[in-house]
Structure 1
Amino acid sequence: MASSKDKDLKRVWEPLKIGKVEFRNRILQPAHSSQHGDPREHVFSDRQIAYFRERAKGGVALSVTETVAAARSAKGSFFNVVDVYDEACIPSMERMGDAVHEHGGRIMVQLASMGVHDKGRMFIDRPKPIWGASRIPSLMHNEMPQVMGPAEFKELAHDFGISAANVKRGGLDGVELHGAHSYGLAQFMSPTYNKRTDAYGGTPAKRCRLLIDCAEQVRVRVGDDFVVGVRLSWDEFMGPEGGITPEQSEEQISVLADTGLFDYFSISAGGYHTIHLALPGMEDTAPEGWLAPFSKRAKEIVGDRAKVFVVGKIRDLHTAEAILRDDAADMVALARQLLTDPFTVKKTEEGREDEIIRCNRCNECAGRLWEHRELICALNPVSGRESYWGDGSLKKVPKKKIKKVLIIGGGPAGMKCAALAAKRGHAVTLMEQRDVLGGHLRLYEQLPGMSDWGIAIDNLTREVRNAGVQVTLNSAADLDTLREFGADEYVIATGATYEDTGLSLYRPERESIPGSDLPHVLDVGSVARLVLEDPQGLGNNVLILDETGSSLPFAVAEIMAKAGTTVEVLSPRIYAGERIYRNLDILFIFPRLKQLGVRVTHQHFVEAIRPGEVDVYDIWAGPGEVSTRRDVDSVVMSILRVPNDALFNAAEAILENVTRIGDVAAPRDATAVIYDGEELGRRL
């Protein structure tokens, strides 16, 4: 097969030179928090180095590290933060540079202060007041800052210079100042946080002053022959008084370009108030490459004074090529796609696009960021684990150790396990009772805002096919099936089912909700399938009791509400939708539900169900004070899932080498069950 390098992607493969540094193509992975830093020494860890080495091996021209502390005042927003102001970080940067350069890549460090999004009490031995442009706290942390003055300006700019010099001493290729996404320098750029009327505020141009101060000190320390860039949010989507607008950005980038301090401008968008637009999930409907008009305007203003990079929901090199051909950017950033598959560039170059694992924007990566947990990818368990599962670690089994493997259940766990085991040389049969693979993800992909779960199914389907797995559909397995097959290894991946009793830890003294056995009480999984066929099939008035906080009950509510059904989602949690807040989808889902008239009731639980009536109570008042919802046609239970483990229990009792994975072991999310499949597939 002819490579794409010779056919379709002329601009993508063109080298780019910035100063003395040449980049082998036009694809970069932009800065994104990994939380892989050494939590004790605050240097780049071996895990981080392996992460960036893998992207260089995969053909990425430039990686920009995550936000690091570039000042004494900046260490605190993330527990695993890397501190490049400290010279102790230099040896780790040397190792990281060597690892990336060995494979033809380039690597730069994003220098940042966190401003009000820092946490003053993050480290037990280093409490401090956080710094801010004005007396405006963080939307997330609500910690009041110390307003910066001349002494703080001088210290911050000095520290940025020292940090940049340390990066240069570490042998890396440049630095990027973080002026985006509502972090420290960006807070000064934005009227959201900057209410000053002195030389550091009041107009878009004056709000650039602190960024320029820091960049000047960087140049003093590193000279003119070291690459220095800046990342900017072109639009914060909050209107002219609320935040940065494109018109303000046009003025600011002109001011910044006039300084001659910056070799490139990396264009992004959004801030903490609109973080769901900076990290758009699968609920977002903007097109791929949606920020290209912003970067194109930036290029028109900057001219030949600097290069322009752009990010924005870009998952393939063909979209990047279109942006480059339109002269909308000099380099194109793939963030989450290169987290999902670090070999996206190389596979495309070699004509192996059918092997690319595509990002579905489920935002598991973002969710872990808020929790201060290490970055991983839901769809590719290797991401974040490159130090032991990276390229070259999957070894073929010797001929005498090849096993006959039977996997029952073609959901995400079974598919992933089948693919990995077959890649290693085992003879693998994957048996699925339905006529398609994908398991419960097949349901998800049909629901509002969840269609990109179809990308996960497609990834796994191609991986199974490419690995040579024997797939048998429409085949329900029982114990006789297993015995007759005669496998060396049996893997049971039969999933889980929602239950409808109302068993809940909010009422541990009872086994079920009284009335849960009535015919109008159903589980949310069954209801999802029902309303896809008949959105009004549950009647005119439906109450959903949800403890999962996940997308499924809200998608069901949306379908019914669009059909004219009155819907209430009731949750005992502090707020409903905890998991869709975690991945930012709540910022798309709840406005839609509000417009449809769906009632979302937090901190309430169900005491009893009767025909047409449901007794509910405020969890703080207790079940002694109930109110009654009347004229309720159906009640939907979205609480627990139970494993479909009958086959496993029977097989384990009489057969050897029987293993369960995925939801049948313990009902969990897609991230966990796909990991199960990867881990067992590598171990069989």
Structure 2
Amino acid sequence: MNKSDILLESKTIKDFVFNNRYVCAPFDIAKATNSGLVTDELLFIYEQRKGPSLIVVEQAAIALDGQYRENLLFVDRDECIEGLSKLSTTIHNNNQVAVLQINHAGSAADTNLTGMEAVAPSAIVNPTFNRSLPKHLSISEITKIKDTFIQAAIRAKKAGFDGVEIHSCHGFLLTQFLSPLTNQRTDQYGGSLENRSRLLMEVTIEIRKAVGEDFLLLVRLGVDDLLPGGTTLEDSCFVAKKLEEEGIDILDVSTGLMPPLGLQGPAMLRGMLKTVKEHVSVPVIGAGELENIHIATDMVASGEVDFIGLARTIMNQPNYVEGLIKKISGV
């Protein structure tokens, strides 16, 4: 038996069968219309991504003031459902599980693009993006954003997706709440780690109530800000455990305020992944240059991760995972 056969083992989560351990991780290709609707080009791109058992579709903005770049997908209104339904069908036709990532950019939003003031937990310039000073969110505005996340998840379900992934990494709004560098609030949404993680927990809980138990709920969690004074791996292990307690189905691990651009080399997040996995029992998706079959095999076999996430490689080589599967199978 080939040791790497473990990468081809199926895994069942709820009633969803994942045919192998490869995931097409979300990566913005920005091929939607100017108003965020699905295009034929976008459908073609996802149709080509055969092989991974799970497709996490790139972030869809839940509100206009949460858009950080042009031609992003949107899921902020019912008009988006028709195109998103075509996208979920395209993925299902390849016998893959379809999940839509939902996001609000917060202080990372492009105000020149949206024509609206950017918002954030505190009036602090985003350290990841070169943007203008954002507006401090009021409690009522936080409540509205929370409801916007919920409505986005409901639309994703109506569009035929099997689940949603809450985007909480790479310097966007929920990451901004988690990080002490960008959250200097003194109310129930700031200060302690429990308070800073409150919005993420409330969004998670309320989405689950809205979509039911037969819908996959993932969180992409940034586990280290990679900046002095920011969110630490220890902080994130606490948050990950709480997310598990609140009923998420899969934890997708990446970095926090800063994307892992300063980290280099195969399996560059392996230490972080191993630590997080030691604190949770839910399935974990790993990321960070995991193209090497031998490294991926070792990580899955040792229980460090359950799934191998690939993004840029699949974007550049849509049939990459298909090729890996053939190589492992000896075809």
TM-score by length of 1: 0.46
- Equivalent in 36, 42, 56 of residue 42 of structure 1: 36
- Measure the CA separation in 2 of the matches of 1:264 and 1:301: 13
- What is the deviation of 1:353? 10
Q: Does residue 1:301 correspond to 2:292, yes or no?
A: no
SS of the residue aligned with 1:121? Answer: helix
- Contact 2:250-2:284 at 8 Å conserved across structures: yes
Aligned residue number for residue 63 of structure 1 = 55
- 1:15 lines up with 2:10 in the alignment: yes
C-alpha separation in 2, matches of 1:47 and 1:319 = 34
Runs (5+) with no aligned partner, structure 2: none
Partner of 2:292: 316
Instruction: Give 1:23 deviation, angstroms.
Output: 1.0
What TM-score do the two structures reach when normalised by structure 2?
0.94
- Number of the residue aligned with 1:234: 223
The number of residue pairs the alignment matches comes to 330
Deviations 1:289-345 (A, max 9, x none): 121222222222112xx2111101112333221110110111110111212222222
Equivalent in the alignment of 2:119 = 131
Matched, 1:257 2:244: yes
Partners of 1:337 and 1:72 in 2: how far apart? 30
Structure 1 pair 166/112, CA: closer, same or farther in 2 (3 Å)? same
Distance 1:251 1:317 in 2: 31
Question: 1:270-669 maps to which residues of 2 (within 5 A)?
Answer: 270-272=256-258, 275=259, 278-279=260-261, 286-303=264-281, 306-351=282-327
Deviations 1:443-500 (A, max 9, x none): xxxxxxxxxxxxxxxxxxxxxxxxxxxxxxxxxxxxxxxxxxxxxxxxxxxxxxxxxx
Is 1:150 matched up with 2:136?
Answer: no
1:10 CA displacement = 2.1
Alpha-carbon deviations, 1:598-656, whole Å to 9, x = none?
xxxxxxxxxxxxxxxxxxxxxxxxxxxxxxxxxxxxxxxxxxxxxxxxxxxxxxxxxxx
Corresponding letter in the other structure for 1:269: T
Distance 2:329 2:315 in 1: 16
Q: Secondary structure at the match of 1:255?
A: helix
Contact kept? 2:221, 2:256, Cα under 8 Å: no
Distance of 1:224 and 1:149 partners within structure 2:
31
Amino acid across the alignment from 2:207:
V
Amino acid in the other structure paired with 1:137: V
Distance 1:145 1:341 in 2: 38
Determine the C-alpha separation between the residues in 1 that align with 2:121 and 2:227.
19
Give the whole-Å Cα distance in 2 for the aligned partners of 1:192 and 1:96.
37
Residues 353 and 116 of structure 1, relative CA distance in 2, 3 Å threshold:
farther
Q: Following TM superposition, by how much is the alpha carbon of 1:71 offset from its aligned partner in structure 2, in angstroms? A: 3.0
Shift of the alpha carbon at 1:130?
Answer: 1.2
Residues 34, 172 of structure 1: alpha-carbon distance in 2 compared, 3 angstrom cutoff? same
Q: Look at both structures and tell me which one has the larger radius of gyration over its CA atoms.
A: 1
Distance 2:143 2:59 in 1: 21
Judge conservation of contact 1:291–1:312 (CA < 8 Å) in 2: yes
Which residue is 1:121 aligned to?
A: 112
Cα distance in 2 between the residues matched to 1:112 and 1:133:
15
Q: Please state how far the C-alpha of 1:348 moved relative to its aligned partner.
A: 2.3
**Separation in structure 1 between the aligned mates of residue 329 and residue 311 of structure 2, nearest angstrom:** 18
SS of residue paired to 1:342: coil
How far 1:72 moved relative to its partner? 4.8
- For 1:133, the aligned partner's letter is P
**Helix, strand or coil: the match of 1:178?**
strand
Q: 1:347 to 1:353 in 2, by over 3 A?
A: farther
Residue of structure 1 in register with 2:79 after alignment: 88
Residue 186 of structure 1 aligns to which amino acid in structure 2?
A: T
Structure 2: which amino acid aligns with 1:300? E
Alpha-carbon separation, structure 1, partners of 2:25 and 2:278: 22
1:27–1:60 contact (8 Å) kept in structure 2: yes
Query: Take 1:129 and 1:37, find their aligned partners in 2: how far apart are those partners?
Result: 23
User: Between the two proteins, what is the percent identity of the paired residues?
Assistant: 26
Q: Give the distance between the partners of 1:342 and 1:62, measured in 2 at CA.
A: 14
Contact 2:2 2:328 in 1 (8 A): no
Higher relative contact order (CA 8 A, sep 6+): 2
**1:558-610: CA deviations, max 9, x gaps?**
xxxxxxxxxxxxxxxxxxxxxxxxxxxxxxxxxxxxxxxxxxxxxxxxxxxxx
